[in-house]
Amino acid sequence: MNFDDTPEEAAFRAEARAWIQANAPKHLEEELRLSGFGGLYLKSEDPMVAAKAWQKKKYDAGWACLHWPKEYGGRGTSPIERVIWTQEEGVYAKLSAPFSIGHGMCGPTVMAWGSEEAKRERLPKLASGEEIWCQLFSEPAAGSDLAGLRTRAERASDGSGDWIINGQKIWTSGAQHSQWGLLLARTDPTVPKHKGLTMFYLDMRSPGVEVVPIRQMNDQRTFNEVFFTNVRIPDSQRLGPVGGGWNVSLTTLMNERLSIGAGMPTGFPELLEYAIATGDVDNPAVCAKLADWAVKASGLRYTAFRAISALSKGETPGPENSIGKLVAGSMMQDIARYAMDLQGQAGLITDPDVAAGHARFQAMALRSPATRIEGGSDEILRNIIAERVLGLPADVRVDKDVPFNAIPTSGRK
């Protein structure tokens, strides 16, 4: 693989660099560089206002969702040019955090399964930052086992063809800021669990939708519970066939793991910077740890390049993208712990205005457990890699062909 820019790519890079240099919100650069992990955090101004302003400016100039078709709000560029843009955008890419689920997961699903009317109506507003989307998948009783979800979608009794939704979702990132959500619900409990699901997109402002933020151990509220009480969805907002929701969800999940795995921070550049600044890099034991993580960081980078190369050939993201998320999640947690050990007693300080390294490692340590659960837990990803990448025998699934309403919900008879 040749990593040098072609003449066309070099010209694109120069154009992108010049535009960013002229238009980026440079007054936020230092604050963005030092911001924590797992979200967008600013003190000088409202982060949502700053994020929407930057996204709208990119959209108006033709730099938003570059690989999307022009008619849906993009620019129709190649995946490689999208990577070049991300490289040049640098720290300002953190302002895109509120849109990451919509741009990386929901948008591609609507593009693959939605009607032409839905694509032209919804996608440009998503690309411009006018609307934010969330992903309504996980439930209290069905996290890693997504097909075990219990949120119900039933036809309205008035003959309108609409659907009535009742149930609950949990761990929904950004739901409190979202105007739309991608919703997977059960429409037929009499068939095996993977076959009775249907996908919809839902107006989060609909009557009967209640969003309750979850307070996390880092005192942030990026995750939410979402409750549905007799929520009405028009059949025109269905994606894919009735009962075909599992296949639609695979489009979302493959893009999710590519999006998370390719863009997940590991903390290695921050650790290296800290070790150099403190002189810890001269310690042979520290050097050995840094070398080990440097190798892993390079492996993640080149694995992501392989996925990008596949995309450039028109291929759909595959199960091998689970590798990036699996490695990056545990790596970030290990680096956070090690950095705090290097800080000694100062590692207890969580105030970014006082702590060494502006408490970036403390923020990483408190956020990192979630990275090993969201978008597929470590255990689920290992199964995917084993079965779909390595071709190993599948786990025994005793409920595979059992109707969902016949699956026991407890160990009691």
**pLDDT tens-place string over residues 118-172:** 999 999 999 999 999 999 999 998 877 899 999 999 999 999 999 999 999 999 9
pLDDT band at 107; cut points 50, 70, 90: very high
Task: Average the pLDDT over 332-353 and give the result.
Answer: 91
Of 51-55, 366-370, 403-407, the least confident: 366-370
Q: Which residues contact 16 (CB under 8 A, 6 or more apart)?
A: 63, 84, 85, 88, 89
pLDDT band at 322; cut points 50, 70, 90: confident
pLDDT of residue 288: 96
pLDDT band at 70; cut points 50, 70, 90: very high
Query: Looking at per-residue confidence, does 319 or 197 come out higher?
Result: 197
Q: Which residue has the tokens 């599992």?
A: 246
Query: Looking at per-residue confidence, does 236 or 79 come out higher?
Result: 236
Distance CA 363, CA 36 (A): 6
Mean pLDDT for all residues in the chain: 89
Q: Which residues contact 2 (CB under 8 A, 6 or more apart)?
A: none
pLDDT of residue 259: 59
Query: Looking at per-residue confidence, does 205 or 411 come out higher?
Result: 205
pLDDT band at 377; cut points 50, 70, 90: confident
pLDDT of residue 86: 87
What are the residue numbers of the active site? 256
Read off the pLDDT of residues 346-360 as tens digits, 9 standing for 90 and up.
998 888 888 877 888
pLDDT at residue 321 tops 80: no
Read off the pLDDT of residues 23-58 as tens digits, 9 standing for 90 and up.
999 999 998 987 766 567 788 899 999 999 999 999
pLDDT of residue 261: 46
Read off the pLDDT of residues 223-281 as tens digits, 9 standing for 90 and up.
999 999 999 999 999 999 999 999 999 988 877 655 554 567 889 999 999 999 999 99
Residue type, 298: S
Q: What percent of the chain has pLDDT over 70?
A: 92
Q: Which residues contact 12 (CB under 8 A, 6 or more apart)?
A: 77, 81, 84
pTM of the predicted protein model: 0.87
pLDDT at residue 4 tops 90: no
Token pair listed for 126: 């998503």
Distance CA 341, CA 362 (A): 11
Read off the pLDDT of residues 289-308 as tens digits, 9 standing for 90 and up.
999 999 999 988 888 777 76
Distance CA 171, CA 165 (A): 18
